[in-house]
């Protein structure tokens, strides 16, 4: 719980919900990518006839996605964190909503 509190945007209440939803131990996820896939915040790719397109995120664990979304919104309003810098860099190129999902993905990896 104390280690989750050190992640920018994750407070005590969010850490409790993350622990409750993941079962308290993320060791049953082989990699961080497996956790992001379980939450469905991983980038999707659709390939057809050699053309790659990004796809929408699907449902997944709605409680974790909601909590991480709120954390991502609070991070982009903060200053002097690596995630807010990342948000502004992606938002300048791709737009604010895609940048928010990218920060949400980074938060899921940090868990």
For residue range 9-63, list pLDDT tens digits in order.
888 888 888 888 888 777 888 888 778 777 777 666 666 777 766 666 566 777 8
Contact 69, 7 (CB under 8 A): no
Which of 3-7, 53-57, 97-101 tops mean pLDDT? 97-101
Question: What are the tokens at 92?
Answer: 């300048």
Distance CA 54, CA 91 (A): 17
Residue whose C-alpha is closest to residue 58's, from 44, 75, 79, 78? 44
Which segment of 20-24, 66-70, 72-76, 95-99 scores lowest on mean pLDDT?
20-24
């Amino acid at each position: 719980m104390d280690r989750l509190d050190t992640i920018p945007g994750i407070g005590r209440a969010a850490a409790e919900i993350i622990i409750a939803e993941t079962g308290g131990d993320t060791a049953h996820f082989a990699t961080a990518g497996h956790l992001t896939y379980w939450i469905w915040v991983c980038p999707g790719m659709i390939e057809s006839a050699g053309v790659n397109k990004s796809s929408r995120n699907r449902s997944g664990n709605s409680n974790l996605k909601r909590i991480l979304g709120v954390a991502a919104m609070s991070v982009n309003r903060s200053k002097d964190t690596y995630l807010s810098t990342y948000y502004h860099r992606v938002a300048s190129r791709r737009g604010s909503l895609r940048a928010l999902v990218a920060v949400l993905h980074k938060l899921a990896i940090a868990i």
